[in-house]
A and B are shown apart, each in its own frame.
Chain A
Amino acid sequence: GAGVSQSPSNKVTEKGKDVELRCDPISGHTALYWYRQSLGQGLEFLIYFQGNSAPDKSGLPSDRFSAERTGGSVSTLTIQRTQQEDSAVYLCASSPRRARVSETQYFGPGTRLLVL
């Protein structure tokens, strides 16, 4: 079956504009995660969804960042009033059941965001 998909694959925007990044998890996966990888940095956890709810938003760097998930499937990460430091690769991952350490996280190809 298809893996995790993300769109767009690349996004160039101007500082101050809003952007939406989309993630389609593997069908039937209930847990969904967003990570960010800035240049020269490791992957940084942003937010975790179980179904449509987000019990852990602790990694969101500021209130300009928000995310939602609908129908227990597609998730959208929105960045408002983008700043140059938001430039990064945004990765989405999903896992089959309730998130726990034994669950493998399956990653999407990422969205490369460049804020000019």
Chain B
Amino acid sequence: AQRVTQPEKLLSVFKGAPVELKCNYSYSGSPELFWYVQYSRQRLQLLLRHISRESIKGFTADLNKGETSFHLKKPFAQEEDSAMYYCALSRSSGGSNYKLTFGKGTLLTVNP
């Protein structure tokens, strides 16, 4: 079974401080990992995905298969980063590889 754990429901940092949102997963096969973000009064949207190895809005995430983690990081948080962040997992190939399993989310607040 697939499982995604985001241990922090709430995370509060000051503007300019580094931020790390933790994500751990459980999956026996080869996973693909994603981060989705939902800003206030907006819809859920893809932030970044492991397979693209990209940096979006200054955020990066590295897949650590040994620790089964996919933590989201940003060196200098901005107030506009305040949002709900969801980590998600799918199979990398084979059947049902479209099916996303989500964590429960972390609400990030960046204080001025």
Contacts and interface: CB of A to CB of B under 8 A. Distances in A.
Contacts of B45: 106-107
B32 A107 contact: no
Interface in A86-106: 91, 95, 99-106
Contact of B97 (A33, A100, A106): A100
Interface string A34-61: 0100001111110010000000100100
A115 B87 CA distance: 28
Interface residues of A, number: 28
Which has the most chain A C-beta neighbours within 10 Å: B90, B102, B103?
Answer: B102
Given A101-B32, A101-B91, A101-B92, A45 B43 contact: no
Contacts of B105: 42
Contact of A43 (B43, B46, B96, B102): B102
Contacts of B32: 101
Contacts of B103: 42
Contacts of B92: 101
A101 B97 contact: yes
Interface of A: 3-4, 31, 33, 35, 40-45, 48, 56, 59, 91, 95, 99-110
11 contacts: A42-B105, A44-B102, A56-B96, A59-B99, A91-B44, A99-B98, A100-B97, A101-B98, A105-B100, A106-B45, A107-B43
Given A31-B98, A104-B46, 6 more contacts: A4-B43, A33-B98, A42-B103, A42-B104, A105-B100, A109-B43
